[in-house]
Every structure is written in C-alpha cells, then in structure tokens.
Amino acid sequence: GAVVSQHPSWVICKSGTSVKIECRSLDFQATTMFWYRQFPKQSLMLMATSNEGSKATYEQGVEKDKFLINHASLTLSTLTVTSAHPEDSSFYICSAPQGEGHFQYFGAGTRLSVL
Amino acid sequence: GQNIDQPTEMTATEGAIVQINCTYQTSGFNGLFWYQQHAGEAPTFLSYNVLDGLEEKGRFSSFLSRSKGYSYLLLKELQMKDSASYLCAAMDSNYQLIWGAGTKLIIKP
C-alpha cells in the first residue's frame, strides 16, 4: 500500500520559536495533502488542504500566517508553526489521498510540545 | 450542515462481539471509512463502504445503509489489542473526509 512519511515524530520547542513538519508521499505522487490537528481525547480537525504549486486552502479559524504550508513538489508538503505558543501543543497529522477512492494514507503524526 | 455521530465510549469483554454505530449527514457522499487509532498514534485504515451492505474482513466487518445515513463496525472475537479509538469518517462530494469524534473502545479481560 501507499506510504506517507512524516517527520519529526516528536518535537519540543521553546515558546516563540518556529517548527517545521514534513510530510512525504514515498511511493506515489500527491497533488493534494491534508494537515490535521488533534487535541487529547478529540477527533481529527482538518486545518488546511495543501495544493502542489498553489496556495493552501485553510479551514475557518485557522491562521494562515501562523501555520505556513508549502507544497513545493508532488511528494512533499511542509507545515511550519511560526512563533509557537503552549496552546499550539498538539498532535499534527498529515495525509495524502491516492487512487480512485481517494483513500487517505496517513503519516505517523508529529507530537509538538511548546514549553 | 455536515455531521457525524458515534458513541463516545464503549466497553466490551475479551472474546466477545461489539458493534460501533455511526450516523452521518454530508453534502454528497463518496463513501464511509472506519479507522482505528491507538493512543498517541496516527489512524490506520480499517474499512471502506460505498455501496449498501456488509463488508467482511477477518474479525472486522463494516455495514452501510446510504438511505439511512448509517454505518456500523462489527468487531468479533475481541482481543485486548483492539482497545483503541475507532473513527468513523464520511467522504463528501468534494472528496473531503468529515470525521466523527471517535469511539473509545475499552476491552476488559
């Protein structure tokens, strides 16, 4: 099956710093990738849809300038959390759809802890 | 609006059978997905239904009724490792997944 690699799996940073998370489709091309955030005991919340070669589409309430998304190639999308604050601490997961059924294949997730 | 409902938590006994229900309302419909998510991990795909009926895959089966906006995930011969959250997600006309809040399944010996 299709494989999506997400890196890093865990990051701890100081408040005010920026953190970049990478999402790669290893054996297929993805013109679209999805970025989710999940707080403890809650479901996945779609943050934005990353589009290769164009601007990302952000969900309502998600700050574009804080969560920078770049989809520079057909296999790589990045999410940068700028000026991170403790309330940004969460589990961030990317996914990429593949095939006729638009199955979403998930990365392993990144646990961000902002001190 | 678009909405997914599923129970918050269920408890079952090892070796038994459990059914997790899900109802959905979406703008258009391109299938119903079930994912399993262990604590601290990303979701893993379990099943996909786009036509009415039952799909069986080993110990897990998934059922869909499009007219009723209803699905269930059936887990047989429960094992302790089945303790996890089970996420129901419906795909709308834009191929976007609408997620339920997840059902935490607790398996007792």
Nearest CA in chain A to B96: A102
Backbone angles phi, psi at B58, to 5 degrees: 65, -125
Closest CA to A107 of A69, A74, A76, A84: A76
Confidence of residue A101 (pLDDT cuts 50, 70, 90): low
- Count interface pairs A-B at CB distance under 8 A: 42
For residue B37, give the chain A residue with the closest CA.
A43
Contacts of A111 in chain B (CB under 8 A): 40
Question: What are the angstrom distances between the C-alpha of A54 and each of A13, A27, B24, B101, B102?
Answer: 29, 22, 32, 31, 32
Cβ neighbours around B39 below 10 Å, total: 10
CB contact under 8 Å between B42 and A109, yes or no, is yes
Task: Give the separation between CA B42 and CA B84, rounded to whole angstroms.
Answer: 11
Chain segment B6-55, per-residue pLDDT in tens: 999 999 999 999 999 999 999 999 999 999 999 888 899 899 999 999 99
- Residues of A with CB below 8 A from B30's CB? 102
Q: What is the mean pLDDT of residues A73-86?
A: 95
Asked if B42's CB is within 8 angstroms of A108's CB, the reply is yes
Interface of A with B in 7-26 (CB under 8 A): none
List CB contacts (< 8 A) between B33 and chain A.
Answer: 104
Q: What is the predicted pLDDT for the residue at A114?
A: 96
Distance from CA of A21 to the nearest CA of B (A): 15
pLDDT in tens, A35-61: 999 998 788 899 999 999 889 999 999
Angle ∠(B42,B58,A100) on CA atoms, nearest 5: 60
Residue pointed to by tokens 């403790």: A86
